[in-house]
Amino acid sequence: NQNTCICSNNTVHTAPRENMSLEEKFAKLTVSDASSVVDAIKAGDVVKSGFADGISALAAKCESKDEAEALAGLAAAKAVAEGCPEAQPYNKDCLAACLEQAASKSTEVRKAACATALAICKNTSPFAIKSLLPIIFVNLPVEKKWQIRVLGLECIASFGEIAPRQLGNALPEVVPEVTACMWDTKKQVKVAATNAMKSALQVIGNKDIEHMTDNILAAITKPKEVPEIMHIMAGVTFVQSVESPALAMVVPLLLRGLREKQTATKRQSAVIIENMSKLVDNPLDAAPFLPLLLPALETNAESIADPEARDVTQRAVEQLNRLKGLADKAMSVRGDISRIKEEFTKAFGEEAPSGIFLRTCEFASSIGTCMMDLRFMEDLQWEKNISGYFTPFYGEEKCKSATESVRAEAEKMLVIPEEEDEEDDAEELCNCLFTLAYGTKILLHNTKMKLKRGKRYGLLGPNDSGKTTLMRAISNNQVEGFPDVTEVRTVFVEADIQGEQSHLSCVEYVWVDPKIQALNIEKEEVIRVLATVGFTEDGKAQPFHAVSTLSGGWRMKLALARAMLQNADILLLDEPTNHLDVINVAWVKTYLNSLTNVTSIIVSHDSGLLNDCCTHIIQIENLKLNFFKGNLDEFVKIRPSARSYFSLKESKLKFKFPQPGPIEGVKSKGKALMKISNITFTYPKNTKPTLFNVSVQVSLSSRVACVGENGAGKSTMIKVLVGDVEPQQGEVWKHPNARVAYVAQHAFHHIESHLNKTPNEYIRWRYANQGEDKESLVKVTMVFTAEEEKLQKTPYEIQFTDDATGKISKIKKVVVELVGGRKQNKSKEYEYEVRYAGSTVDSGEYLPAKVLKKMGWEKAIKAVDLKIAQRAGLYIRPLSTKNVEQHLEDIGLNREFGTHYRMSALSGGQKVKVVIAASMWNQPHILILDEPTNYLDRESLGALAGAIETFDGGVVMITHNNEFCSKLCPETWVMDAGHLETKGDADWMLKQDTKIDEQAQITEVTDAAGNVQKVKGQKKKLSKKEEKALMKKIKAKLKEGAELDSDEEEFAIEKDLI
């Protein structure tokens, strides 16, 4: 036996040990010797005292079958754990013995084993818990006694208290082990595993899924809840980068979802996997989970029956394979103790290290790799947590310098080389890394933004990419890392004037702005700056006139003047040339180019503006900002597809509206289906009418743009036309068989109470009653007045003619309701089925519409017409999941969102598409859109324009977008202060007098089960000669007893031949 000592030159020498006290103590150990073992280590060190050499003897004592020996060994190990932190690399060997003794027959030994195991775990360096996990994991399999497994799980749970971040780093290894125990048949193991998992869930460090912890726990123990939890999971917005702790928690849930029987749940799991994997910044974070997820996904991609779900799953497989390729290429240092161990032996110059020194290196490497993973890379942090373990072998200074040498090498392993920046001397205003989300949608993720003074950046991006959201976030100081407004003055230029400020003069409107007030700008300065942009007493726009009198173009110039007063460092301009004429567009270009010391970010569809002003283009693509030097033309040379961002014609997105089909009795597309004549309307409490003597009509060939200033009465006129409000004077008429889709500016109230449904479920719910629209508003025009109710209760004289005798009789009756039936009489007028007072069953009798109107039932007639018209749309296209899914895709909502996402998880733009799709399901003949340019982005507008061009029904739209309406609408209704003037080719609809008979008829439909059925075309009207011949033929057949075909049978019934 030998002792070691350190000489002045830091070299360790060995000499014969004179004192063998620890070896003797371990041979004859008693409980009372525990404190003396600690004293011996403190008097020397873990090597000189013989503790490192004798640890196997102490571990053997702990594991002894003899109660006294076991208690003595456990007491010593516990005392060392609590009193000698430097002994951690060796004392951890006693943990395995403690776990084994948890199943001892002796109660005292079991208690001592539990206390010692927890003492070792709680007193080990938080960064070294990964060195204990293999010892615990080997004791968790079902073959081990349940007491051993319970103690192992309790040890894991204890790490949540003493080492939360380090446990989070170890979750990829911990979660699979604990999950297996949660299914154990032994109650004690199940409870301990659940507690360990709860402890683990507290340390995931991802705020996006912290609220999901109870659901994740439930998914492990209650498989039936997995489909519901997957729906909740689909609505989670991941703003933080997805790292290994978050993945460790979510992967078990996703694996369970992939193994569910329901195709929808399998599909949803694949979608979540694909989306989450896109947010993994470091491929090494995902590496441990790829062997679990990939096989399950690949199995589903081959075995799922639904081809669309297979395609979605295949996309997830491809995304994970891409991630796997990146992970394989990356130089992995995560958990790779061997590399850091090599660095330690190299730093200490150990060519032939002893076993004890190697054990110390391994323990230090375990700490080092954990610190690397968690980015604890300061020199003092490594010195504090590592260097002390080497002092038994080398002097303190040598230990510090060697540890620093290893830390420096470890830091090099973590460096990610940056791309070289362009050479530019301009001042850098912003250089930040951030993530941006809107609702449940990630718009930008861990993307870099660098802005320089005096540059003008054109911001381009596809549908729903977040251009305006980004600019609003910058102006509201919500972008992480962006300089504060006190450092870099940022102004968002927008022309929206709030209603409560519309009475202010132009000067007052600018001057009362809080930002102008904060700068203590005098009113005279406001007047001077307004004059520079054209607001003069003798000009078109006068500075002391109310802002409500300004056109859109002057409102934009007013907003620019307000921005000029603030001396901005960064101007954020959203469509600055909207509503401007050619002269004012040129003025804006000149103004922007003159701002050599101001940075601009411009969102615009005006290619001329982007070409003439921009020095750089920023493209939003794949959740990143990509910067390009040059103007739009130079950018389009590199990315030709970008032209669709600013041209309606170039839009890649396509909408397709369902064709309306024929209307009984309407042979010409120019025939009016809706009209209002000489109507005057005044809102309650108002003295002045909003509409004066207005008359319009709409047909299948109508393409009308309704334009005018805000408050001119456009929306009010449309509400009168569709029956939302009732005029005080004039007549409102709609063809009884016409179906009308009306998408108002604020149409979301329909879906707000159905946010837990998917769009597909919502539409099927809405039209489930034989095609009747449940969301048809209870309109003012459909509610009976007191006068009408009085007429309904008054007996009315009805004339009846006996068909056999021709005798006419009169009787007074009261109709109590219209049952819903309708037929045409010989005069081609509609008659409606009624129920009379006192009758308990339907009478089967019909009354003409003109009689019912006199009896006060006109509104009920309209309600019956509406239901019949709506049901007619259902026949052409059955209300199946597949048909609704295709319909939603036709209106631009991908089936991913249409069938598999609840509406609560959709963005505002996607909800709008749901509202349009729902209103279009019953194949309306007339589509009325109120300000579609307010809620649809440019790409969707291009798609909408294309759909309207090919739509066979009539279209009326209220819009301020000249490019949009001039492309589509040859007729314009100009509303000015309640007075209507029609402009353009008002007779266009007459020129489109295409006979409906010439339209291609629908010949087959697909039902909910996928069966194709032939559809009869419209019956050709027979001439009197043809009718007489057919009647003769049928009579002959009936006489011979021959069978009639379906058309003959129908004719025979109609003519009372059978």
How far does CA 256 lie from the centroid of its chain?
23
SS3 state at 524: helix
Longest dimension (CA), the chain: 140
Q: From 903, 930, 971, select the one nearest 763 (Cα to Cα).
A: 903
How far apart are the C-alpha atoms of 110 and 101, rounded to whole Å? 6
Q: Can you list the pairs that 797-802 forms with residues at least 24 positions away whose Cβ atoms lie under 8 Å?
A: 798/847, 798/851
pTM: 0.51
Q: Kindly list the distances between the CA atom of residue 524 and the CA atoms of 511, 521, 539, 872, 1027, in Å, as whole numbers in the listed order.
A: 10, 8, 18, 66, 88
Q: What is the pLDDT of residue 788?
A: 79
Strand pairing report for 703-707 and 740-743? unpaired
Residue with tokens 């997105």: 653
Q: What is the pLDDT of residue 354?
A: 81
Tokens of 899: 């069938």
**Cβ count within 10 A of residue 399:** 22
The backbone region for 526, taken as left when phi is positive above 0, alpha when psi lies in -120 to 50, beta otherwise, is: alpha
**Residue 320: which H helix or E strand, with range?**
helix 307-329
How far apart are the C-alpha atoms of 200 and 549, rounded to whole Å? 63
**Residue 406: which H helix or E strand, with range?**
helix 396-414
Burial class (CB in 10 A: 0-12, 13-18, 19+), 26: buried
* Helices 263-277 and 226-234: angle between axes, nearest 10 degrees: 40
How far apart are the C-alpha atoms of 823 and 736, rounded to whole Å? 12
Is residue 852 within 8 Å of 829, Cβ to Cβ? no
SS3 state at 668: strand
The DSSP symbol for 434 reads E
SS3 state at 230: helix
Q: Which residues of the chain have pLDDT under 50?
A: 1-20, 418-420, 777-778, 780, 986-1010, 1013, 1015-1018
Burial class (CB in 10 A: 0-12, 13-18, 19+), 244: buried
Residue with tokens 């403690």: 98
Is residue 881 within 8 Å of 764, Cβ to Cβ? yes
Sheet strands (E) in 534-671 = 570-574, 599-603, 616-621, 624-629
SS3 state at 811: strand
How far apart are the C-alpha atoms of 329 and 322, rounded to whole Å? 11
Sheet strands (E) in 406-484 = 428-438, 441-452, 456-460
How far apart are the C-alpha atoms of 681 and 135, rounded to whole Å? 84
How far apart are the C-alpha atoms of 774 and 777, rounded to whole Å? 8
How far apart are the C-alpha atoms of 95 and 118, rounded to whole Å? 9
Is residue 309 within 8 Å of 367, Cβ to Cβ? no
b/e sequence 501-520, b meaning 16+ C-beta within 10 Å: eeebebbbbbbebeebeeee
The backbone region for 493, taken as left when phi is positive above 0, alpha when psi lies in -120 to 50, beta otherwise, is: beta
Tokens of 297: 């996904």
